[in-house]
Structure 1
């Protein structure tokens, strides 16, 4: 909704009432209304010196507002200053109500309040509008902070575009205060800058460590092909400077900023890291790492892996929330994929079905989009594993096909490598599976889900010690993300395969608590309880498992696990727990 108001209208009417009305009517017809028509707007209310205009697209509304101001200035080029009309414009995005031909609602009220904040000849928009247009329109809005507006309980963040900036845009010149090398626009993909970590200790050794860990994180994040990462030479220009994160983000053209600090004392080192959405100033994630400084390079590698593994799922979640706020028709293939990833990360059946539908839409938009095929391959594989599809064999076949399609379009996607590896592992082709899974980890060493899948395949191949080490690393890499229940389940399964039942038990109990929809978690816990003689507990879990999966029979389990090295120990535990043949 666009709100417009004439500045000083009462003064103009006092000088020449009839002439003012006639000139304003002509100005609307010759300068304002053509802009509205061109941008698909509809004038819903005229109020003498004001107007309300509705648009289907917020981008069109803001572009129209700028064009209106430029058209008004051009139309009055020869009018003396005392007789010129000056408009204030405000744009907001929100619900409106149509009742007997009249429009009402908070969306209109806020647009009017924003208009009052604008300079004469300028424009003011809400933070919600700015979020929608910042990537699409090259307008140098100034963040004027939180504004307490009349009749609104909460402050509203507002952004202003000055009359001088609007005039400069009309001439194709840089806006006042901007150099000819204007800040770059935000790229289509999510974007991040990693600032040089601050050395809080002062010593040169810690300074080298701080720089080294920042550089390693940049390298690690650069492996995420869906993420646009600013190069070290650009982000390090802010080193040792007190900077505003939002200013850094504007100058580098990124949405997210990662910053941190390093402090050393008495053979120990503390690294603090925080991820910030620079557009809102919101702290998305923060973590503190305390380590013994025996091997500085080992510590640097370990912390780097943990940071990259923690950031990836959180950026997906943030992008999913951001994209979900867009109007349905404006979401592109990338937006559909991001929303799907957010749903997949919740690991539930309903979310899996919704994610698959979104990914099919993304592939229909762009059949060569490797990431969409890769995520769909994982979603189908997981749904088949959980018995959420009518034909699990067909589900696995489709998962493998989409993994192949993804690799045909982009051979360096770690997710599709992982799913192809899991498909091969499920078929008992262990050597080929491990090649694919090792390739996935070479592409992204901080891929926690890939680590877990690799450990799973090692277990199936009978390499128990390696499996335990790899699945344990997955748990440590990303203990708080939504796949954590899967990581603990597979780590517990690896321990069970090695007959370390007492160690496996707490992990398996935790996995059932974290994700109770998957019958496989119950199976492993039941087997473990059987080996430990916890028959009453095993019977409770057999009853709970019957509610989420097909009936348990040793013959079916033996057939399903026949290709795997841990088949015998798994089935033995189930028999001890009282599962029938």
Structure 2
């Protein structure tokens, strides 16, 4: 059923409120309140009516009810003073007094199939209302609030297409067929779950499902003490988003790898490039750059592709792979500026640009501002915290760098790029003279990626500062196997990493590395 009043359309099937073509964000509880008032507009609705229908009879303060009514009025351009559409009758109740026209859609058997939205060309997800398994109405609102928080957190990833909560809540209280949900909402993935309260604890179960096949991509259970309900929501939201965002990306990588080359879009090419770039080998970076350049040919305004191309050029410079280092430097900076000109509001693009600039330009104030803005735009973005760590390390603020690196690891504790974060921690710890801790971090990074030279550089310097010469020489030998052209002066000229690495360089000299 659609209710039409003034310039608004209130769609109970899609759980959408529109003003013209614009969708107005409405919290589920406020939507339910509006729905009840509009459907019962022929009479005065009492406070007890609303509490019974919206809050299942749970005790609700007058202030809470007033807050929801004000939100409902605000959503439809009304106010408590004007009361153009929702009127308060003192000591009686409330009534929707706007002129309403009803519109009921009659669908044929094939209509739903024809009207099903096409899948976007990026990962798409709907977060369904979590089922309340505890029998406690209080948990209903906790679960709804948590789903809203997860939806909002996921929507901060510009690489994801996230269905608005109003549409997802259409399925609240229903036994759903995941394949049907995916088809009706036009999404590739669905997140569902349950909430159960018992013995002072809340247990939340979540499952990420590929809608077309019903395949479970990820599932986990979270159990927390029932103390501060809002802190609990934040805690679980962070855990869920940190787990499913990388899983979504891995699923998309697998999907792209199965497609034929002639079917690839710019987004698929970007995904394939990421796979090639991650190990950071000379061959992988060259292939990744070739793929991402093809993506830019297909979509010249693809900011993420420009940023990744710039990052490939930086890696070639920093790892001494570049045949023409000056050309690679210029290309990295050009592509960084191109990415920013295309989308300077995307946290991933901002994070990449901040790191490229920190490595090659050295404008600390601008780079810190960009990296700070990236994490503010999306506090759940692992890459933004990792880049921020390196930016602050290069800027000579190792304590803040470590805080950023640790936050990144909390975001994604089993991320394929964890070796980079651990190396950054090791570099920062050396400048703080915490050499034993630097060795621990570097050894962890080395185990995760034995072909990455950064951990060995960290080990060389830390061991040398501690007078553990044999271990320093062994680490130096391993590093030179990976980077045989390494000299201290060459390392200093490669990037800005050395600018605030006085103790790192001092350790190199103590270990006897070539100047």
- Please give the range of the TM-score, normalised by the shorter of the 2 chains: 0.7 to 0.9
Aligned to 2:470: 536
Aligned to 2:247: 314
Q: Which of the numbers 312, 329, 334 marks the counterpart of 1:396? A: 329
3-state secondary structure, aligned to 1:547: helix
The answer for the alignment partner of 2:72 in structure 1 is: none
Contact 2:153 2:241 in 1 (8 A): yes
Do the aligned partners of residues 207 and 504 (structure 1) sit closer, same or farther apart at CA in structure 2, a change above 3 Å counting?
A: farther
Q: Report the counterpart of residue 423 of structure 1 in structure 2.
A: 356
Structure 2: runs of 5 or more not aligned? 1-105
Relative to structure 1, is the Cα distance of residues 537 and 408 closer, same or farther in structure 2, using a 3 angstrom cutoff?
same
**Cα distance, 1:412–1:177 mapped onto 2, change above 3 Å:** same
Give secondary structure in 2 for the equivalent of 1:273: strand
Match of 1:260 in 2: 193
Q: What residue is the counterpart of 1:408 in the other structure?
A: 341
Q: Hey, what does 1:92 align to over in structure 2? A: none
| Pair 1:482 & 2:416 matched | yes
Match of 1:75 in 2: none
* Counterpart contact for 1:448–1:478, Cα < 8 Å: yes
Structure 1's 450 and 349: CA in aligned 2 closer, same or farther, altered over 3 A? farther
- Answer whether contact 1:381 1:419 (CA < 8 A) is retained: no
Equivalent residue runs for 1:120-519 within 5 Å: 176=109, 178-179=111-112, 182-426=115-359, 427-519=361-453
Higher relative contact order (CA 8 A, sep 6+): 2
Query: Runs of 5+ in structure 1 lacking a partner?
Result: 1-172
Show the 5 A alignment for 1:59-70.
none
TM-score, normalised with respect to structure 1 = 0.65
Deviations 1:279-331 (A, max 9, x none): 12222223333444554433433433343343333323322322333332222
Deviation of 1:502 after TM superposition, in Å, equals: 2.3
Q: CA deviation at 1:483?
A: 0.9
- Please state how far the C-alpha of 1:554 moved relative to its aligned partner: 4.0
Report how far residue 182 of structure 1 moved. Answer: 3.4
Larger Rg: 1
Q: CA separation of 1:580/1:388 partners in 2, compared to 1, >3 Å: closer, same or farther?
A: closer
Shift of 1:437: 1.0
| Contact 2:310-2:356 at 8 Å conserved across structures | no
Query: Aligned-pair distance for 1:179?
Result: 4.5
Instruction: Give the Cα separation in 2 of the matches to 1:372 and 1:559.
Output: 27
2-structure distance, mates of 1:462, 1:470: 14
- The corresponding residue for 2:50 is none
CA 1:575/1:204 → structure 2, altered by over 3 Å: closer, same or farther?
farther
Secondary structure at the residue paired with 2:482?
A: coil
Q: Secondary structure of 1:411's match?
A: coil
Q: Which residue of 1 aligns with 2:5?
A: none
Conserved 8 A contact 1:305-1:445: no
The answer (yes or no) to whether the contact 2:193–2:204 under 8 Å persists in 1 is: yes
Aligned in 2, Cα 1:187/1:460: closer, same or farther, shift over 3 Å? closer
CA distance in 1, matches of 2:203, 2:467: 44
The aligned residue for residue 13 of structure 2 is none
- CA 1:404–1:389: 2 relative to 1, 3 Å: same
Could you say which residue in structure 2 is the equivalent of 1:58?
none
Q: In terms of mean alpha carbon deviation, does 210-219 or 200-209 score higher?
A: 200-209
The alignment's C-alpha RMSD in Å is 2.7
Deviations 1:75-131 (A, max 9, x none): xxxxxxxxxxxxxxxxxxxxxxxxxxxxxxxxxxxxxxxxxxxxxxxxxxxxxxxxx
Summarize the Cα distance change of 1:269–1:577 in structure 2 as closer, same or farther, 3 Å threshold. farther
In the other structure, the counterpart of 1:549 is: 483
- The equivalent residue for 2:81 is none
Is the 8 Å Cα contact of residues 371 and 406 (structure 1) preserved in structure 2? yes
Q: Which moved more, 1:412-421 or 1:298-307?
A: 298-307
Q: Residues 195 and 258 of structure 1 are in contact (CA less than 8 Å); yes or no, is this contact kept in structure 2?
A: yes
Say if 1:500 and 1:207 are closer, same or farther in 2 by CA, change over 3 A. farther
